[in-house]
Amino acid sequence: MKLSRLLSCVFLLSTLLLVACADNEKPVLIATATPGPNTPTASAPATVTAAPTSTMAVPTTQPPTPTPPVDKDTILATLDPAKPGNDISPYIYGLAAGDDSDPNYFTDIKPGLLRWGGNPATRFNWVLGNAWNAGRDYEFRNGDYGNPGKNVADDFVQTGVQYKIPTLITIPTIGWVAKNTDNNTQSLNVPAHGGPPVKAGSNAIAGYDPTANQKLTSVLSLPRKNAPFAYPPDPKSQTVYQDEWVANLVKKFGPASTGGVKFYSMDNEPDLWSETHTDVHPARMGYDDVLKEFVDYASAVKDVDPSALITGPTSWGWTGYFYSDLDRGSDNFKTAADRAKHGNVPFLPWFLDQLKQYEQKNGKRILDVLDVHYYPQGDGVYGGTTDDKTNALRLRSTRSLWDNNYIDESWINQQVRLIPRLKEWVDTYYPGTKIAISEWNWGADTTLNGALAITQVLGAFGREGLYMAAYWRNPPANSPGFSAFKMYTNFDGKGSTFGDKSVPVTLSDDQKVNVFAALDSSTGHLRLIMVNTQTDKEQKIEVRFPTALPAQSASVYELSAQTNNTLTAKSPLDISGGTSLRVTIPAYSATLIDLGKISGS
């Protein structure tokens, strides 16, 4: 998350129904069957150092060169449905809100997860039910975000229950939550930035003690009550207990195992508290600070609902994966004294290893999902700039999620390869831990360019085996970004999804197009999503299979300028057989082909 980003905490719970309709025009897609045998800082920090070379080396082996396509202008895609790859988790299609412009939003877009989070969630008072402090997002003021007299968190979970969408709740671990909903209650004389604590264990920094503002705006928040829970607790209580919140949620909605809240995230970006919540927590968090807060609260949540899955540490982004906030120092991470005190091990690997040791010692896993946030750092990308240069960068920068060779075109200026990197860290330091990107956004989701970026990101999440992800906050109803999500979650308006088992695809040229493939285990259908990132050139693609396709009429859905940037059903493809499928997809488009059950699937 960029520090300048203003995050709203109004949870909008409604939306717009978009039904794909038949297109009677001549389709742009052309198919023929071929007979034949079977990558929030304004300036760059010191160079980020990854984990030890033995565990972080970039693979150098490349896929075998496929047989050339029929002509030089055709891109060859090869795949074998009998050799599927990762399971595709439904939780990767998460959102942080709905859209109140239409009550059918959730029934149409069908997200796989609803996440309650964002900066103000750090200061949410669940006992009052509608009280936050906005932190630096809005002048360190308390408020109810337009929700007088409501229990907003309960309503949020109830929405998930109503639409059968799993929910994630962010548990405040900062120690202070809003004492009221009065927008005139505001922290005063807050410094522009936090800093290192004046001494170990102190929350004060040079020139600023947060005690007065803590009392002015907040009540104490603790992980455990260590006494019988109240249902509900006294709203006048001067201390809020987070395990009691979980107990109340379990009482109302049941445990995670029977449809209650499935995920609990241990707060939101603690590596930025010194900037986002400077008024009550100006001291920069170190390795040990983040670990202690996580253990105290995660263990308390698990004691109340052992079936719930715990996520953390919800690091803000790139520097947070390798360093603590304390490492920022006065030289922008060059010295990194806190990391040096911890064996010079990058923060996330260290965090994973510590929690593995916790499980070995206590016989209980309290970290189920390694959870990070990720925003593209290229100029204007997340910010929504839509000139030609930024649009091209927006699409290229999605490669930072998976491409071993892509150098991030930002201050990061190195290979991010985020999902492979996180998987390597988990395999090395705490095997069995799942991986989440619980906050992401590539910007410009009201444009076709932004929608194509979303299509590539969601395809990569499934192909690379990510377990959970949540978009910040939601693509507006009936927007191109909305259609991009629907391509994976409800492409036909009847509940059909992209699939639940990824099929690896090898491309002869992956710079102009991306092709994602998946099997639907409930029907045996194979589905392809093809993204053409070329602004002015349609693209011929030949898809080769190891065995012949059965004769069929395959459904086709397209998102392009020709469909008014809306996911639209096109004329079906008549396939007569053969081992390859030749199609031409429009410039700047995403196309889904729904093939019937084929041999090997």
3-state secondary structure 21-36: CECCCCCCCCEEEECC
Separation CA 112–CA 168 (nearest Å): 11
| Residue 225 domain flag | yes
pLDDT more than 70, % of the chain = 88
| Residue 10 domain flag | no
More confident residue, 372 or 27: 372
Q: In what order do the strands lie in the sheet containing 239-241?
A: 176-178, 218-222, 239-241
Q: DSSP strand E in 257-343: where? A: 263-266, 309-315
pLDDT reading at 49 higher than 70: no
pLDDT digits (tens, 9 = 90+) for 176-196: 999 999 999 999 999 999 999
Separation CA 143–CA 181 (nearest Å): 4
Question: What is the structure's pLDDT at 67?
Answer: 61
Separation CA 501–CA 80 (nearest Å): 12
Question: What DSSP line would sit under 563-582, residue for residue?
Answer: GTTS-EEEEEEEE---SEEE
Separation CA 287–CA 308 (nearest Å): 25
**What is the token pair recorded at 563?**
């469909």
- Report the candidate in 19, 36, 77, 83 with the shortest Cα–Cα distance to residue 599: 83
**Mean of pLDDT values over 542-562:** 96
More confident residue, 9 or 405: 405
DSSP state of 488: H
Q: At 12, is the pLDDT very low, low, confident or very high (cuts 50, 70, 90)?
A: very low
Q: DSSP strand E in 317-428: where? A: 369-374
Q: At 70, is the pLDDT very low, low, confident or very high (cuts 50, 70, 90)?
A: low
User: What mean pLDDT is reported for the chain?
Assistant: 90
φ, ψ for residue 321, nearest 5 deg: -75, -25
What distances in angstroms separate CA 460 from CA 129, 367, 424, one per listed residue? 37, 24, 17
- 414-434 core/surface letters (b: 16 or more CB in 10 A; e: else): ebbbbbbbbbbbbebbbeebb
pLDDT more than 90, % of the chain = 87
Separation CA 168–CA 398 (nearest Å): 25
Neighbour tally for 184: CB within 10 Å: 8
pLDDT reading at 23 higher than 70: no
Question: What is the structure's pLDDT at 456?
Answer: 98
Degrees (nearest 5) of the Cα angle 214, 216, 217? Answer: 70
CATH of the domain at 202: 3.20.20.80
| Residue 354 domain flag | yes
Q: At 117, is the pLDDT very low, low, confident or very high (cuts 50, 70, 90)?
A: very high
Question: What is the structure's pLDDT at 31?
Answer: 34
| Residue 461 domain flag | yes
Separation CA 421–CA 402 (nearest Å): 9
| Residue 23 domain flag | no
pLDDT reading at 57 higher than 80: no
Place of tokens 């009482």: 251
Q: In what order do the strands lie in the sheet containing 501-503?
A: 501-503, 513-519, 525-532, 589-597, 552-559, 568-575
DSSP state of 401: G
Neighbour tally for 507: CB within 10 Å: 18
pTM of the model: 0.91
Q: For the chain, how many residues are written?
A: 601
pLDDT digits (tens, 9 = 90+) for 477-522: 999 999 999 999 999 999 999 999 999 999 999 999 999 999 999 9
Q: At 45, is the pLDDT very low, low, confident or very high (cuts 50, 70, 90)?
A: very low
Question: What is the structure's pLDDT at 62?
Answer: 40
Considering its fold, how many domains does the chain have in total?
1
What distances in angstroms separate CA 236 from CA 121, 125, 206, 239, 240, one per listed residue? 20, 12, 34, 9, 10
| Residue 44 domain flag | yes
> How close are the terminal C-alpha atoms of the chain, in Å?
40
Neighbour tally for 54: CB within 10 Å: 7
Q: At 8, is the pLDDT very low, low, confident or very high (cuts 50, 70, 90)?
A: very low
- The region of weakest confidence among 64-78, 213-227, 289-303, 429-443 is 64-78
Degrees (nearest 5) of the Cα angle 498, 501, 506? Answer: 90
**Mean of pLDDT values over 22-26:** 30
| Residue 16 domain flag | no
Place of tokens 């120690």: 175
- The region of weakest confidence among 18-22, 179-183, 438-442 is 18-22
| Residue 115 domain flag | yes
Domain coverage including residue 161: 31-38+40-597
